[in-house]
Amino acid sequence: MVSIVIPVYQSKHTLRSVVEEVLAQTESWIEDIEIILVDDHSQDGTRDLVRALVKQYAPVKAIYNETTCGQQETLLRGLNQASGEWLVTMDDDGQHPVSMLDDLLNSVKQGYDLVYCVCSKPKEETWRRSGAMMRDMLFRQLYPFLGDLRVSSYRILTRSLHQCATKIPRKFTYLSCLYLQHRPRVGNIPMDYQKRLHGKSNYPSFALALLLVKIAFWYGLAAKWNVIRKKKRL
């Protein structure tokens, strides 16, 4: 089985199109699929749409956050309840091309533990392009084995990697960091971002900058300090 986990927030104008496109793209698959929609306490009518999609399509399941938890914790909740041997994460705004699902599944079957679809062309917004470059530089510092490989929120991974990476309690969750700490076999597939089906990004530039600082601290400085403390105890 393949589990496709989609974090959902304020996406009543885009979600139906994304779900129906995923169902059409995977209709010919031999593998069974489930689509897990995790609503992060949307207030725009998205939750009603999620309920309607669950009733209309058998593969669609739903999880509802009672408070806003953010993308990473929302994704984690969906992944923890997924049943598939392979786990896919993708966004709810239509920017991730659903046609890449076949390539992702084929790649992970070739022996990779984790495969990312990465943008082959710069994004339109200057600040998001700069943010992506800064993120890539940070990840190369934290995980030198990546080389020129990059990360994104559109990915497929094995269930075993997810379970191994998330079994230890943590104070700050960033899924790619949790996975990469285990030095998995990582692959990239180039993709072209599609235009958002509606509206603008809910993620402001200052939030992206703060996220990078948190990643650098919790998976860089704090991680090294924990290693030093353990050595001193020995």
Residue ranges of domains in the chain:
2-233
Using one digit for the tens of pLDDT, what is the confidence trace for 20-70?
Answer: 999 999 999 999 999 999 999 999 999 999 999 999 999 999 999 999 999
State residue 115's pLDDT score: 98
Residue predicted with more confidence, 170 or 56:
56
State residue 77's pLDDT score: 97
Q: Name the residue type at position 195.
A: K
% residues pLDDT > 70 (the chain): 87
CATH superfamily membership of 2-233: Spore Coat Polysaccharide Biosynthesis Protein SpsA; Chain A (3.90.550.10)
- 3-class SS of residue 194: coil
- 3-class SS of residue 30: coil
147, 179, 71, 128: CA torsion to nearest 10: 0
State residue 128's pLDDT score: 61
State residue 170's pLDDT score: 87
State residue 124's pLDDT score: 53
Residue predicted with more confidence, 227 or 222:
222
**In this model, does residue 231 exceed pLDDT 60?**
no
User: Residues near 89 by Cβ (< 8 Å), separated by ≥ 6?
Assistant: 4, 5, 6, 7, 75, 79, 153, 154, 155, 175
Using one digit for the tens of pLDDT, what is the confidence trace for 114-139?
Answer: 999 999 865 555 556 677 889 999 99
Contact 114, 88 (CB under 8 A): no
Segment 174-203 mean pLDDT: 85
Of 7-16, 63-72, 214-223, least confident by mean pLDDT is 214-223
State residue 208's pLDDT score: 83
State residue 130's pLDDT score: 75
Residue predicted with more confidence, 119 or 4:
4
Between strands 114-119 and 155-158, the pairing is: antiparallel
